[in-house]
Amino acid sequence: MNTDVASRILDIVARQSGKDRAVVTTGMTLKELEVDSLEAIETVFEIEEAFGIQLADDQNRTGTDTLQDLIAAVEAALAHRDGPANSAHAA
Amino acid sequence: MTAGATTRPDTSRVVVTGMGAISALGNDAATHWSALREGCSGIAGLVHPRISELRVHVAAQVHGFHPEAHFDERLLALLDRVSQFAIIASKQAVAASGWSPHGTPASRIAVVVGTGVGGETSRDDECRKLYADGAARVHPFSIVRAMASAPASQVAMAHGATGPVFAVSSACASSNHAIAQAALMIRSGIADVAIAGGAEACLSFSVLKAWEAMRVLADDTCRPFCQQRRGLVLAEGAGMFVLESLAHAKGRGATPIAELAGVGMSSDAGDIVAPSASGAAAAMRAALASAGLAPTDIDHINAHGTGTPSNDVTETQAIRETFGRHADRIAVTSTKSMHGHALGAAGALELVAVLCAMRDGVVPPTANFLSRDDACDLDVVTGLARPMAIRAALSNSFAFGGLNAVLALTATSG
C-alpha cells in the first residue's frame, strides 16, 4: 500500500464526513462514518478529482466497503492510468 | 367499487378520451403500446456525437423522427426537440379523442405539460457556442426554445387553448403532477377539457455527464425489480392525453378509455435523492382516497420501477405498506424496462401503458428480468404479457427530491 495515497484518501474522507482525521482508519466503512449515499458519491468524486482517475460506477455504492477497499481501487486505477495500456476506463 | 368517484356529478368526473406518444418504442401511441405488450425493449446503444467521451453507452432514444415532416421551417426554428415531441403527441391525442377544439369554448380548454428541464439540448448547444467556441452571441430564439414552459405554450398554440396553460416541473414525477393539475382543474370546474401530459428530450452532453456523475445509470440495460438490476437507463419522448369532464365527453358522444378517478400527491421532505417508502405510500393512499377506491379494488400497478438498487426495494415496501396482504394480488410491472426512464415524460409514457392495459385487458411484462430479488417480492409480471381484466389501476411516479404523484384509473362501463 502506498502510504501517501492512503493518507490523501483518508484526508478526503475525513473532510467529506466531517470527522476528526485521527478517528478515520482504513478498516472503517463510509457507513460507519455516517456518510450517506449522496455524500459517498461526492466523496468518490473528490477522490477521482484529486488523483485524476475514474473509478467504477458502483464504487462504494452500498457504503459497506472498507476504506482499505477504496484505497486498493484507487491504487489499481492509478496503475492502470500510468500503465502501458492507458485508458479512460480504469478500475 | 368506484363509490367515491361515481357519486360526483358528471361535470366533475374526469375521463381520458385520447392519447398520443412518441418514445424509443415508436413515434405514435399504438406502436409504443404494441412494443410494450410484446415485451420489446427500446433500450439500445446510445447514439451521440461525443459518445467516445461518455461512459454511458445505453439509452432509450427516439429514432426515425423527422421534425421537418411535422413542422414548417418558421415554426421549427422556434422549437426545441422537447416541444416538438409535446406537439406531436398532443396532436395524436386530440385526433384519437375525436374531439375538435373548435367545439369547446377556447377559454375552457387547459394545457398542462410536465417536463424536468425543458429545452435542454438548445441550452446545451448555445452554451457550447458561447463558452467553448467563443461565440460573441447566441441564437435569438434561445430563450423561447429553452424555457421550461415552451412545450405548454406550443401545445396551447397548436390547439387554440386559451384557458389555464402552464408547465409543471417535479423531476421524474413531472408528468403525473401535470396530469393531476389538469384533472383537478376539470374536477373543480375551471376547465372542461385539458390537454395534459409530459415531454422530455434532455440527452445533451452536459446532462449525460451529470447523470454519469451521479452513478445511478445502468451499463447494460434496465432490469426493474430484478436481482441483477444495475440502475436506470435514460430516455426521451412525450405522452399527451385529452382529459375531459364526463359531462363534456357524453355531450359529444365520446367513448372514454378510462376514468382518471383520483390523484394523490405527497412529499418525503427527507432526502434529496434517497426515496422514502412512507412518502410513496402516502401518495398511493391519497390517490385511492381521491378516487373513492379501497385498496382491494386495485388489480394493477404500473410502478415507478426505475431499476436502481434503492428505488425498487423502497417501492416494494411502499406497496406492501399501502395494500397489506392485497399487495400479493396486484399485477405489478415497470415499463421503464422498455421505454427507459424518460424523466419528466416518464409518467405520461407509463399512463399510455396503463390505459392500453385496461382497454385491452393485458398487463405488459417487465422486460430484461433475470432473477427475483427477495427484497422486491411483489407479483411482478415478467416474460409474456398477462391477460387479465383490470377494474382499477395505479400509476406511480416518485421523483428525486421526494416528490410523489400517483394517478388512479378506473375502468369505464361505457
For B18-59, what is each residue's pLDDT tens digit? 999 999 999 999 999 999 999 999 999 999 999 999 999 999
Is 80 exceeded by the pLDDT of residue A31? Answer: yes
Q: pLDDT at position A65, please? A: 85
Between B214, B219, B310, which is nearest A41 by CB? B214
CATH number (3.40.50.2300, 3.40.47.10, 3.40.50.300, 1.20.120.1200) of B259-410 reads 3.40.47.10
Q: Does residue B98 contact residue B254 with C-beta atoms inside 8 Å? A: yes
Handedness of CA B195, B409, B255, B88 (dihedral sign): positive
Nearest CA in chain B to A57: B215
- Give the least confident one: A33-42, B275-284, B331-340, B374-383: A33-42
Q: Look at B217 and A57 and tell me if their CB atoms are within 8 Å.
A: yes
Structure-block grid coordinates of residue B1: 367499487
Average pLDDT along chain B:
97
Please tell me the distance from the alpha carbon of residue B290 to that of residue B379, in angstroms, as a whole number: 25
Give the up-direction half-sphere exposure of residue B326: CA atoms within 13 A in the CB hemisphere: 12
Q: Look at B271 and A36 and tell me if their CB atoms are within 8 Å.
A: yes
Q: pLDDT at position A85, please? A: 54
Please tell me the distance from the alpha carbon of residue B92 to that of residue B26, in angstroms, as a whole number: 13
DSSP B183: H
Confidence label for A60 from pLDDT (cuts 50, 70 and 90): low
Q: pLDDT at position B29, please? A: 98
Handedness of CA B276, B280, B285, B290 (dihedral sign): positive
Report pLDDT digits (tens) over B49-107: 999 999 999 999 999 999 999 999 999 999 999 999 999 999 999 999 999 999 999 99
B191-213 average pLDDT score? 98
Please tell me the distance from the alpha carbon of residue B260 to that of residue B182, in angstroms, as a whole number: 11
Q: pLDDT at position B1, please? A: 46
Confidence label for A2 from pLDDT (cuts 50, 70 and 90): confident
Is 50 exceeded by the pLDDT of residue A90? Answer: no
Confidence label for B5 from pLDDT (cuts 50, 70 and 90): low
Q: Look at B55 and A57 and tell me if their CB atoms are within 8 Å.
A: yes
Is 60 exceeded by the pLDDT of residue B356? Answer: yes
Q: What is the CA radius of gyration of chain A?
A: 12
Is A49 in CB contact (< 8 Å) with chain B?
no
Please tell me the distance from the alpha carbon of residue B164 to that of residue B178, in angstroms, as a whole number: 12
Is 70 exceeded by the pLDDT of residue B4? Answer: no
Please tell me the distance from the alpha carbon of residue B206 to that of residue B48, in angstroms, as a whole number: 12
Is A58 in CB contact (< 8 Å) with chain B?
yes
Q: For chain A, how far is it from start to end, CA to CA, in angstroms?
A: 16
Nearest CA in chain B to A37: B274
Known catalytic residue: B326?
no
Task: Give whole-number Cα distances, B325 to B50, B70, B126, B132, B314, in Å.
Answer: 49, 49, 53, 57, 17
A48-65 average pLDDT score? 84
Report pLDDT digits (tens) over B156-189: 999 999 999 999 999 999 999 999 999 999 999 9
Contacts of B61 (CB under 8 A, 6+ apart): B24, B44, B46, B47, B203, B235, B236
3-state secondary structure of B102: helix
* Domain definitions of chain B by residue range: 14-251, 259-410
Please tell me the distance from the alpha carbon of residue B197 to that of residue B209, in angstroms, as a whole number: 27
Is 60 exceeded by the pLDDT of residue A86? Answer: no
Which one from B32, B300, B304, B339 is the annotated catalytic residue? B304
Is 60 exceeded by the pLDDT of residue B292? Answer: yes
Please tell me the distance from the alpha carbon of residue A40 to that of residue B382, in angstroms, as a whole number: 33
Q: pLDDT at position A82, please? A: 84
Class of domain B14-251: alpha beta
Task: Give whole-number Cα distances, B412 to B2, B148, B261, B349, in Å.
Answer: 10, 34, 10, 21
CA angle B182, B183, B189 (to 5 degrees): 95
Please tell me the distance from the alpha carbon of residue B191 to that of residue B294, in angstroms, as a whole number: 28
Known catalytic residue: B63?
no
Please tell me the distance from the alpha carbon of residue B27 to that of residue B352, in angstroms, as a whole number: 13
Q: Does residue B171 contact residue B402 with C-beta atoms inside 8 Å? A: no
Q: Which chain B residues touch A if contact means CB-CB below 8 Å?
A: 55, 212-215, 217, 219, 230-231, 271-274, 309-310
Please tell me the distance from the alpha carbon of residue B46 to that of residue B62, in angstroms, as a whole number: 11
Q: Nearest CA to CA, how far is A1 from chain B (Å)? A: 27
Structure-block grid coordinates of residue A7: 493518507
> Are both B14-251 and B259-410 of the same fold?
yes
Contacts of B100 (CB under 8 A, 6+ apart): none
Structure-block grid coordinates of residue B196: 395534459
Is 80 exceeded by the pLDDT of residue B287? Answer: yes
Is 70 exceeded by the pLDDT of residue A87? Answer: no
Q: pLDDT at position A37, please? A: 84
- Give the least confident one: A78-87, B305-314, B378-387: A78-87
Report pLDDT digits (tens) over B220-251: 999 999 999 999 999 999 999 999 999 999 99
